[in-house]
Structure 1
Amino acid sequence: MAEEKKAEEKKLFKVTIDNITVDVEPGTTILHAARMVGGDVTPPAMCYYSKLKGSGGKCRTCLVEVAAGSTADPRPMPKLVASCRTTVMDGMIVKNITSERVLEARAGVVELLLINHPLDCPICDQAGECHLQDLSYEHGKEGTRYEFKRRTFTPHNLGEYIQLHMTRCILCYRCVYTANQLTNKREHGILDRGDHAEIATYIEKALDNEFIGNVIDVCPVGALTDKTFRFKNRVWFTKPMDAHRDCPTCSGQVQLWMRGDEVYRVTARKDEWGEVKDTTEGKPGWICNDCRFHKKSVKDWVIEGPTQVNRHSVISQGHYVNTVTPKETLPEVMGGRAPKLLMNIHKVSDVNRPEIQLSKIEGPAHSDDFKPPTP
């Protein structure tokens, strides 16, 4: 009897997604089954986060069509379902990019998310790693039909480390779940309802907790950004490096975003779905504020090597791993003599001052930081 029970528990379900069949355990969601297949078969997800309990079911970007419910009941589901909240059944047939209904509905969801979103990608720190950018390019339409004034919000101060831009928020609730599940006391949440709903703190409280910086990592848009990195560089000009340190508060396993020998910012390590990776010991990879905001020097870290950028991203365009350096021909041309430096631009320029490190400047970089000292 016990053996029969074990055999039933080990039974896997067969689910077909976009004509690709995969075996999954009972209780697996359609989204996770699609992630096992990978590629374009995987629906996008803006609110779901596998590390956060209760997330998902809000943004509707992961809608899919269930063409056959199961082998026992092959009838199709009448409406599109959220793949992050719908579990698979044995023999289920799912359509994602092969369904015209899904593509049309997803384009409508993208249009709705962008109705009030400001077109400030050129000045947004999230540009280049923004999930909403990817979503709009891959699943949105070229133009917009919205002709009305976009909504605005009164700015809220969340403290010295986190910058809130509520006009960019899509109300995915990820930051609220993060504060609920990682911190001892949550200070922020959703205020008001409907079109007036916003992320804010009651009576202007600052977000002050050792793990509150993780709300920056889970935000899929530029609504919550790092003040210590604000306006200092573009992510595609930096190189992500895996590093670690002995931290008494967290795992200390992070990603350094470097340009040359400067550490511009520190984040948790993320997987190809943009979610925080587990550590090498299998524990949650959340990092503390001390590692994130205060350790901005190379000597603070043990650098393991360049991060493997798996997903298509503008960051990967300048991220070269295992490349072969071409042979330097200049010494041969010059007969072994070193090239002569005709002009050092730092000696004649008032802007490019070598003693200034952007990563060490408090707050956003300003033209005043580069003015020559007055005699």
Structure 2
Amino acid sequence: MENTAPQLFKVTIDGVEVEVPPGTTILQAARKIGPEVAPPAMCYYEPLKGSGGKCRACLVRVSAGSAKDPRPMPKLVASCITPIQDGMVVENFTNPQVVDARKSVVEFLLINHPLDCPVCDQAGECHLQDFSYEHGVGTTRYEEDRRTFEKEDIGPYIQLHMTRCILCYRCVYTADQITDKRVHGVMNRGDHAEISTYIGQAIDNDFSGNVIDVCPVGALTDKTYRFKNRVWFSKPVDAHCECEKCSGKVQLWYRGDEVIRVTARKNEWGEVNDFICNTCRFERKQTSQWTIEGPTKVSRASVISANKYSKNLVTKPDFALKLAESQYKKIDDDRPYLHEMSDIQQSEDYKALMAKDEKYFGHK
């Protein structure tokens, strides 16, 4: 019987081997392994066709092109647009040249980017913040005037801060691929390039709000959420509703009992799973309009998870013990686990500790 199993290519990234189908890019293969080897990405967005290849944040070194031709590639390559070959060997975080190149990319992205994180609504969920923190340096060599732009009103829902834009083109691809009429794009060339609307038109499509979610920085923000709250003071909750225009699957962001904003759900790479309509995003801000599914799973590395302790951890100590036991490996120790204070006081460890306390501090 003929074997119809799909052909798979083997690729090794930072010493970890993975099998992927032909046509897979290096970045996609790395993401299949996990975040520990996945390069950062500022312009690539998997749901959007044609994205990638612009910011060079995902540069990697190919030390072996393939099993048939193991010669290394002469230069660093953008992993988001470079397809893998069978037997390819890729160096990412393990290569000093790649790490140094990323620092240079961060420096270029920050040349004209205003350091206004304290007043930017994107702070706390900004990809450029994360990228510069993980791969950048603490100082800048740039001493020239920064590029600035005149403020432009592009509609009632979306605030444009062109000075923060890194020209990733995500918003352009989003408008092209999920709306029926795109009225904005990249105008001019080179250092004068900017995101703008044609002949001053407003962005008012039913799905225009999705450009806010795909923007990796604070260039496009929600006017209805502007200066209302810090993201780490908000509590994200997964919810859904019956909607004729979109899937209705969203994240509700609470401040107390108030829904202060609605966004699309994102995966672990910060990419939208299902794009949502403007009705869900801007007009449904009441809990009664949604079916609550539960708290959003947030990465422990994110500031959004700060101070979000479960009530059970305080009111039910047994819950905390069970949680710790489920998340951490048991210590390889044959000593008995002591629950009662009287048993603890009779243990040799406790007596030794008290003896040290008496010796150094002079009290029992």
Query: 1:319 Cα deviation (Å)?
Result: 2.9
Query: 1:311 Cα deviation (Å)?
Result: 6.0
Aligned runs of 1:59-138 on 2, under 5 Å?
Answer: 59-138=55-134
| Equivalent position SS for 1:209 | coil
Amino acid at match of 1:219: C
CA contact under 8 A between 1:67 and 1:77: conserved in structure 2? yes
CA contact under 8 A between 1:249 and 1:288: conserved in structure 2? yes
Query: 1:327 Cα deviation (Å)?
Result: 5.5
| Identity over aligned pairs, percent | 69
Change (3 A) 1:42 1:323: farther
Change (3 A) 1:215 1:148: same
| Equivalent position SS for 2:128 | helix
Query: Is 1:298–2:287 an aligned residue pair?
Result: yes
Query: Is 1:152–2:148 an aligned residue pair?
Result: yes
Q: Which runs of 5+ in 1 are unaligned?
A: 278-284, 329-375
Please report the RMSD computed on the Cα atoms of aligned residues, expressed in angstroms: 1.4
Query: Is 1:18–2:7 an aligned residue pair?
Result: no
Runs of 4+ in 1 over 4 A off after TM superposition: none
CA distance in 2 between partners of 1:257 and 1:218 (Å): 17
**Equivalent residue number for residue 24 of structure 2:** 28
| CA distances 1:161-203 after superposition (whole Å, capped 9, x unpaired) | 0000000000000000000011111100011110000000122
| Equivalent position SS for 1:265 | strand
**Equivalent residue number for residue 357 of structure 2:** none
Amino acid at match of 2:195: I
Please identify the structure whose Cα radius of gyration is greater: 2
Query: Is 1:3–2:2 an aligned residue pair?
Result: yes
Query: 1:320 Cα deviation (Å)?
Result: 3.4
**Equivalent residue number for residue 141 of structure 1:** 137
| CA distances 1:249-294 after superposition (whole Å, capped 9, x unpaired) | 11100000002210000000001110012xxxxxxx1100000001
| Equivalent position SS for 2:143 | coil
Change (3 A) 1:66 1:322: farther
CA distance in 1 between partners of 2:285 and 2:27 (Å): 37
CA distance in 2 between partners of 1:71 and 1:327 (Å): 57
Candidates 172, 192, 195, aligned match of 2:191: 195
CA distance in 2 between partners of 1:146 and 1:217 (Å): 30
| CA distances 1:81-112 after superposition (whole Å, capped 9, x unpaired) | 11000111111110000011101111101100
| Equivalent position SS for 2:185 | strand
Query: Is 1:248–2:244 an aligned residue pair?
Result: yes
CA distance in 1 between partners of 2:316 and 2:51 (Å): 52
CA distance in 2 between partners of 1:39 and 1:190 (Å): 31
**Equivalent residue number for residue 220 of structure 2:** 224
Amino acid at match of 1:300: Q
Using the size of structure 1 for normalisation, the TM-score is 0.83
CA distance in 1 between partners of 2:105 and 2:130 (Å): 14
Amino acid at match of 2:303: V
**Equivalent residue number for residue 353 of structure 2:** none
CA contact under 8 A between 1:31 and 1:42: conserved in structure 2? yes
Query: 1:12 Cα deviation (Å)?
Result: 1.3
CA distance in 2 between partners of 1:59 and 1:325 (Å): 45
**Equivalent residue number for residue 306 of structure 2:** 317
CA distance in 2 between partners of 1:193 and 1:87 (Å): 29
Using the size of structure 2 for normalisation, the TM-score is 0.85
**Equivalent residue number for residue 180 of structure 1:** 176
Q: Which runs of 5+ in 2 are unaligned?
A: 318-364
